[in-house]
Amino acid sequence: MTTAHRPTWAPAKGHEEQGGARMFGPSRKHSKLDDNAHMTLKTRAVGQMSVKELVARDFKAELLAKEAKHFKRKLPASADGHLLPIGDGDSSRGAGERAEVAATSATVAGDAGPSGSDRVFEPKRVDADDSDDDDDDDDDDSDSEDDTAALLAELERIKKERADAFARREADDAENDALEKAEALASGNPLLDLKPGEKKKEGGFDDDDAFVAKRRWDDDVVFKNQTRGERKTKKRFVNDTIRSDFHRRFLNKYVK
Protein backbone atom coordinates (compact mmCIF):
# COMPACT_ATOMS: atom_id res chain seq x y z
CA MET A 1 0.00 0.00 0.00
CA THR A 2 1.45 3.32 -0.98
CA THR A 3 2.06 6.11 1.53
CA ALA A 4 2.63 8.89 -0.99
CA HIS A 5 -0.52 10.66 0.12
CA ARG A 6 0.42 10.74 3.80
CA PRO A 7 2.34 13.66 5.28
CA THR A 8 5.92 13.22 6.35
CA TRP A 9 7.39 13.87 9.74
CA ALA A 10 8.87 17.10 8.56
CA PRO A 11 6.77 18.48 5.70
CA ALA A 12 8.33 21.09 3.50
CA LYS A 13 7.61 24.66 4.45
CA GLY A 14 7.96 27.64 2.20
CA HIS A 15 10.47 30.29 3.10
CA GLU A 16 12.68 32.79 1.43
CA GLU A 17 15.53 30.46 0.61
CA GLN A 18 14.31 27.27 -1.02
CA GLY A 19 16.54 24.23 -0.97
CA GLY A 20 19.85 23.93 0.75
CA ALA A 21 21.09 21.59 3.47
CA ARG A 22 18.71 21.94 6.40
CA MET A 23 18.97 19.99 9.64
CA PHE A 24 15.93 18.64 11.42
CA GLY A 25 15.66 17.33 14.94
CA PRO A 26 14.23 13.89 15.82
CA SER A 27 10.48 13.46 16.00
CA ARG A 28 8.84 13.57 19.39
CA LYS A 29 5.64 11.82 18.40
CA HIS A 30 4.80 9.05 20.89
CA SER A 31 2.16 6.31 20.73
CA LYS A 32 0.23 5.05 23.73
CA LEU A 33 0.96 1.50 22.59
CA ASP A 34 4.59 2.11 23.48
CA ASP A 35 3.79 2.89 27.14
CA ASN A 36 4.77 0.43 29.85
CA ALA A 37 1.98 -1.74 31.24
CA HIS A 38 1.68 -3.79 34.47
CA MET A 39 4.25 -1.83 36.40
CA THR A 40 3.57 -3.66 39.70
CA LEU A 41 4.45 -7.34 40.21
CA LYS A 42 1.64 -9.54 41.46
CA THR A 43 2.35 -11.67 44.56
CA ARG A 44 0.58 -14.67 46.05
CA ALA A 45 -1.93 -14.02 48.79
CA VAL A 46 -2.42 -16.10 51.92
CA GLY A 47 -3.68 -19.58 51.03
CA GLN A 48 -2.31 -19.52 47.47
CA MET A 49 0.66 -21.84 48.15
CA SER A 50 3.26 -19.19 48.73
CA VAL A 51 6.90 -20.03 49.38
CA LYS A 52 6.57 -19.64 53.16
CA GLU A 53 3.55 -21.95 53.26
CA LEU A 54 5.32 -24.63 51.19
CA VAL A 55 8.38 -24.49 53.47
CA ALA A 56 6.23 -24.83 56.60
CA ARG A 57 4.37 -27.96 55.34
CA ASP A 58 5.55 -31.49 56.20
CA PHE A 59 4.91 -33.48 53.02
CA LYS A 60 6.30 -36.72 54.45
CA ALA A 61 3.86 -36.73 57.37
CA GLU A 62 0.94 -36.00 55.04
CA LEU A 63 1.94 -38.87 52.73
CA LEU A 64 2.21 -41.33 55.63
CA ALA A 65 -1.21 -40.28 56.93
CA LYS A 66 -2.79 -40.80 53.50
CA GLU A 67 -1.21 -44.25 53.17
CA ALA A 68 -2.45 -45.31 56.60
CA LYS A 69 -5.95 -44.14 55.76
CA HIS A 70 -5.88 -46.06 52.49
CA PHE A 71 -4.68 -49.33 54.03
CA LYS A 72 -7.20 -49.01 56.85
CA ARG A 73 -10.03 -48.82 54.31
CA LYS A 74 -8.78 -51.61 52.00
CA LEU A 75 -7.03 -54.22 54.20
CA PRO A 76 -8.73 -56.46 56.87
CA ALA A 77 -8.14 -55.73 60.57
CA SER A 78 -7.62 -58.16 63.50
CA ALA A 79 -9.64 -58.34 66.71
CA ASP A 80 -7.39 -55.84 68.52
CA GLY A 81 -7.64 -53.33 65.67
CA HIS A 82 -4.20 -53.92 64.11
CA LEU A 83 -3.93 -54.49 60.38
CA LEU A 84 -3.15 -58.02 59.22
CA PRO A 85 -0.32 -58.61 56.73
CA ILE A 86 -1.35 -59.16 53.14
CA GLY A 87 0.23 -62.61 52.95
CA ASP A 88 -1.50 -63.93 56.08
CA GLY A 89 -4.90 -62.74 54.95
CA ASP A 90 -4.56 -64.36 51.55
CA SER A 91 -3.29 -67.65 53.00
CA SER A 92 -6.09 -67.86 55.57
CA ARG A 93 -8.70 -67.08 52.94
CA GLY A 94 -7.21 -69.64 50.56
CA ALA A 95 -7.14 -72.28 53.29
CA GLY A 96 -10.80 -71.70 54.07
CA GLU A 97 -11.73 -72.05 50.42
CA ARG A 98 -9.73 -75.28 50.12
CA ALA A 99 -11.48 -76.68 53.19
CA GLU A 100 -14.89 -75.91 51.70
CA VAL A 101 -13.95 -77.61 48.42
CA ALA A 102 -12.72 -80.72 50.28
CA ALA A 103 -15.94 -80.93 52.33
CA THR A 104 -18.04 -80.65 49.19
CA SER A 105 -16.12 -83.41 47.43
CA ALA A 106 -16.45 -85.68 50.48
CA THR A 107 -20.22 -85.16 50.51
CA VAL A 108 -20.48 -86.06 46.84
CA ALA A 109 -18.39 -89.19 47.38
CA GLY A 110 -20.61 -90.30 50.30
CA ASP A 111 -23.75 -89.92 48.20
CA ALA A 112 -22.25 -91.99 45.39
CA GLY A 113 -21.68 -95.01 47.67
CA PRO A 114 -18.76 -97.43 47.93
CA SER A 115 -19.26 -98.76 44.42
CA GLY A 116 -19.39 -95.35 42.81
CA SER A 117 -15.84 -95.51 41.50
CA ASP A 118 -16.28 -99.09 40.22
CA ARG A 119 -19.28 -98.37 38.03
CA VAL A 120 -19.17 -99.89 34.55
CA PHE A 121 -21.07 -98.20 31.74
CA GLU A 122 -22.76 -100.72 29.52
CA PRO A 123 -23.36 -99.89 25.88
CA LYS A 124 -26.85 -99.11 24.77
CA ARG A 125 -28.79 -102.02 23.41
CA VAL A 126 -29.35 -102.00 19.70
CA ASP A 127 -32.97 -101.47 18.81
CA ALA A 128 -34.55 -103.60 16.14
CA ASP A 129 -36.18 -100.54 14.51
CA ASP A 130 -32.82 -99.02 13.62
CA SER A 131 -32.62 -100.98 10.38
CA ASP A 132 -36.11 -99.78 9.41
CA ASP A 133 -35.02 -96.20 9.96
CA ASP A 134 -32.05 -96.77 7.70
CA ASP A 135 -34.30 -98.19 4.99
CA ASP A 136 -36.62 -95.18 5.27
CA ASP A 137 -33.64 -92.86 4.91
CA ASP A 138 -32.53 -94.70 1.76
CA ASP A 139 -36.03 -94.41 0.29
CA ASP A 140 -36.14 -90.70 1.05
CA ASP A 141 -32.76 -90.23 -0.60
CA SER A 142 -33.86 -92.06 -3.74
CA ASP A 143 -37.09 -90.03 -3.91
CA SER A 144 -35.18 -86.76 -3.56
CA GLU A 145 -32.78 -87.84 -6.32
CA ASP A 146 -35.71 -88.64 -8.62
CA ASP A 147 -37.28 -85.25 -7.91
CA THR A 148 -33.99 -83.52 -8.65
CA ALA A 149 -33.62 -85.36 -11.94
CA ALA A 150 -37.18 -84.43 -12.94
CA LEU A 151 -36.58 -80.78 -12.09
CA LEU A 152 -33.36 -80.72 -14.10
CA ALA A 153 -35.11 -82.29 -17.10
CA GLU A 154 -37.92 -79.72 -16.88
CA LEU A 155 -35.36 -76.92 -16.66
CA GLU A 156 -33.55 -78.18 -19.76
CA ARG A 157 -36.85 -78.39 -21.67
CA ILE A 158 -37.76 -74.82 -20.74
CA LYS A 159 -34.33 -73.57 -21.80
CA LYS A 160 -34.63 -75.39 -25.14
CA GLU A 161 -38.10 -73.93 -25.79
CA ARG A 162 -36.86 -70.42 -25.04
CA ALA A 163 -33.87 -70.89 -27.33
CA ASP A 164 -36.11 -72.14 -30.16
CA ALA A 165 -38.50 -69.21 -29.71
CA PHE A 166 -35.60 -66.75 -29.75
CA ALA A 167 -34.20 -68.33 -32.93
CA ARG A 168 -37.60 -68.16 -34.66
CA ARG A 169 -38.00 -64.52 -33.65
CA GLU A 170 -34.55 -63.70 -34.99
CA ALA A 171 -35.34 -65.45 -38.29
CA ASP A 172 -38.64 -63.55 -38.64
CA ASP A 173 -36.94 -60.23 -37.95
CA ALA A 174 -34.24 -60.98 -40.52
CA GLU A 175 -36.86 -61.90 -43.13
CA ASN A 176 -38.85 -58.73 -42.47
CA ASP A 177 -35.71 -56.62 -42.74
CA ALA A 178 -34.86 -58.24 -46.07
CA LEU A 179 -38.36 -57.56 -47.43
CA GLU A 180 -38.27 -53.94 -46.31
CA LYS A 181 -34.85 -53.44 -47.87
CA ALA A 182 -36.00 -54.96 -51.19
CA GLU A 183 -39.10 -52.75 -51.23
CA ALA A 184 -37.00 -49.67 -50.48
CA LEU A 185 -34.66 -50.53 -53.34
CA ALA A 186 -37.60 -51.05 -55.69
CA SER A 187 -39.26 -47.72 -54.88
CA GLY A 188 -36.27 -45.68 -53.77
CA ASN A 189 -36.07 -43.49 -56.89
CA PRO A 190 -37.65 -40.12 -56.01
CA LEU A 191 -38.61 -39.56 -59.67
CA LEU A 192 -40.63 -42.75 -59.85
CA ASP A 193 -43.69 -43.66 -57.85
CA LEU A 194 -46.32 -46.34 -58.11
CA LYS A 195 -49.83 -45.15 -58.87
CA PRO A 196 -52.30 -45.38 -56.01
CA GLY A 197 -53.82 -48.86 -55.91
CA GLU A 198 -51.26 -50.32 -58.30
CA LYS A 199 -48.73 -51.70 -55.83
CA LYS A 200 -46.97 -54.94 -56.46
CA LYS A 201 -49.30 -57.94 -56.41
CA GLU A 202 -48.86 -61.66 -56.73
CA GLY A 203 -48.61 -61.56 -60.54
CA GLY A 204 -46.59 -58.35 -60.73
CA PHE A 205 -47.95 -54.96 -61.86
CA ASP A 206 -51.34 -54.49 -63.46
CA ASP A 207 -50.13 -52.69 -66.59
CA ASP A 208 -47.00 -51.31 -68.14
CA ASP A 209 -47.88 -47.72 -67.25
CA ALA A 210 -47.45 -48.28 -63.51
CA PHE A 211 -44.63 -45.76 -63.08
CA VAL A 212 -45.23 -42.03 -63.53
CA ALA A 213 -42.90 -39.09 -63.08
CA LYS A 214 -43.36 -37.07 -59.93
CA ARG A 215 -44.06 -33.35 -59.95
CA ARG A 216 -41.49 -30.80 -58.99
CA TRP A 217 -40.72 -30.41 -55.33
CA ASP A 218 -41.95 -26.80 -55.36
CA ASP A 219 -45.29 -27.36 -57.10
CA ASP A 220 -47.31 -27.44 -53.87
CA VAL A 221 -45.69 -24.47 -52.13
CA VAL A 222 -47.94 -21.67 -50.92
CA PHE A 223 -46.00 -18.60 -52.06
CA LYS A 224 -45.30 -19.58 -55.65
CA ASN A 225 -45.09 -17.05 -58.49
CA GLN A 226 -45.92 -14.12 -56.26
CA THR A 227 -44.76 -11.60 -58.86
CA ARG A 228 -46.83 -13.03 -61.70
CA GLY A 229 -49.06 -10.42 -63.29
CA GLU A 230 -47.17 -7.41 -61.99
CA ARG A 231 -46.11 -4.73 -64.43
CA LYS A 232 -42.43 -4.56 -65.00
CA THR A 233 -41.30 -0.99 -64.59
CA LYS A 234 -37.88 0.45 -64.89
CA LYS A 235 -36.27 1.07 -61.53
CA ARG A 236 -35.59 4.68 -60.71
CA PHE A 237 -34.41 6.65 -57.72
CA VAL A 238 -36.66 9.28 -56.16
CA ASN A 239 -35.17 11.28 -53.32
CA ASP A 240 -38.45 11.46 -51.45
CA THR A 241 -39.82 8.75 -49.18
CA ILE A 242 -43.42 9.80 -49.83
CA ARG A 243 -43.23 10.03 -53.63
CA SER A 244 -41.03 6.95 -54.20
CA ASP A 245 -42.25 4.06 -56.27
CA PHE A 246 -42.24 1.72 -53.26
CA HIS A 247 -44.44 4.09 -51.28
CA ARG A 248 -46.81 4.50 -54.20
CA ARG A 249 -47.19 0.71 -54.55
CA PHE A 250 -47.73 0.41 -50.80
CA LEU A 251 -50.53 2.99 -50.87
CA ASN A 252 -52.17 1.41 -53.90
CA LYS A 253 -52.11 -2.04 -52.30
CA TYR A 254 -53.05 -1.38 -48.67
CA VAL A 255 -54.71 2.06 -48.48
CA LYS A 256 -57.02 2.26 -51.49
pLDDT in tens, the chain (256 residues): 677 787 666 666 666 555 555 665 666 777 888 888 888 988 888 888 888 899 999 999 999 999 999 999 988 665 555 555 554 444 445 555 566 656 665 555 555 444 444 555 555 555 555 555 566 666 777 788 888 989 999 999 999 999 999 999 999 999 999 988 888 877 766 555 554 444 444 444 455 545 555 677 777 777 777 777 777 778 888 899 999 989 998 999 998 8
Q: What is the dihedral of CA 29, 33, 35, 40, to 10 degrees?
A: 170
Q: CA nearest 226: which of 203, 204, 253?
A: 253
**Nearest to residue 252, comparing CAs of 235, 230, 234, 236?**
230
How far is C-alpha 246 from the chain's CA centre? 71
How many whole angstroms from its chain centre is CA 120?
68
Cβ atoms of 222 and 244 closer than 8 Å: no
* Number of C-beta neighbours around residue 195 at 10 A: 13
SS3 at position 194 = strand
> Strands 192-194 and 211-213: what pairing?
antiparallel
Whole-model pTM?
0.23
HSE-CB for 111 with a 13 A CA cutoff: 6
Question: Residue 35 CA to chain centroid, in angstroms?
Answer: 59
**How do the domains of the chain map onto residue ranges?**
58-108, 158-188
Q: pLDDT at position 252, please?
A: 92
Sequence-distant (6+) residues with CB within 8 A of 127 are: none
pLDDT at position 154, please? 93
